[in-house]
Amino acid sequence: MKIQSNQKLVMIGDSITDCGRAQPVGEGLFEAHGKSYVAYVAGLLGAVYPDRHIRVVNMGTSGNTVRDLKARWQRDVLDLSPDWLSIMIGINDVWRQFDLPLQTELHVPIAEYEHTLDELVLAAKPTLKGLVLMSPFFIEPNRADAMRATMDRYGTVVRQVAKRHGAIFVDTQAAFDSVLKHCHAASLAWDRVHPNVTGHMVLTRAFLNAVEFAW
């Protein structure tokens, strides 16, 4: 597996990452990692690779867009000195365009999204041993759906940013699409955005496969 002994993995994002994690830093006893894929990643790393003593820190914040990540990047990423960093952001950047169409000040255009994500990666990259960029997703199999189509475009941006910076890219949309061949979206997320346990395990599996976790 790519994550080595005594390394710290910081995972940052929006509500999908947050899921009730401890504040101000999502690490510690009981449910400090929250109830998202981050908790499952931490649990599996600890159970399968106990000898590596890998630290996992959840720094997701509900409602965040890439703009919010930029505002807290120093405190919530750089100051934590991660060895590995995982970023999954973009769902709210897209969603606000559809659930709050009149409040255009909350919308993050795709050009701004790409530029800001690039900035964040450049700020963190010099001290990292590994970087994982996870695409945003919409748990909707109809690719012609307006929000799904827009989310796919933002996901393509993440793929491009990952390629530019030599990061690991996790196509979370593809992971969900594979499962959606066999079940309805409502069985994974009531609003097609916030996953249930099965949905979070889909994210967990996609992330761990990308870092060459030995199941």
- Write out residues in the chain with pLDDT < 70, as ranges: none
Q: Which one from 99, 165, 191, 200 is the annotated catalytic residue? A: 191
* 191 catalytically annotated: yes
Alpha carbon of 119 to those of 56, 69, 136: distances in Å? 23, 11, 18
pLDDT, tens only, 43-56: 999 999 999 999 99
Which tokens in the block code for residue 147? 């929000």
State how far the Cα of 45 lies from the Cα of 168, in Å rounded to an integer. 18
pLDDT at 120: 98
For residue 167, give both structure tokens.
């990061």
Contact 94, 147 (CB under 8 A): yes
From the candidates 15, 36, 86, 135, which is the catalytic residue? 15
**Domain 8-210 class, CATH top level:** alpha beta
> Among 107, 145, 177, 194, which one carries the catalytic annotation?
194
The predicted-structure confidence for 184-193, as pLDDT tens digits, reads as follows 999 999 999 9
Chain segment 76-98, per-residue pLDDT in tens: 999 999 999 999 999 999 999 99
Look at the pTM and tell me if it is higher than 0.75: yes
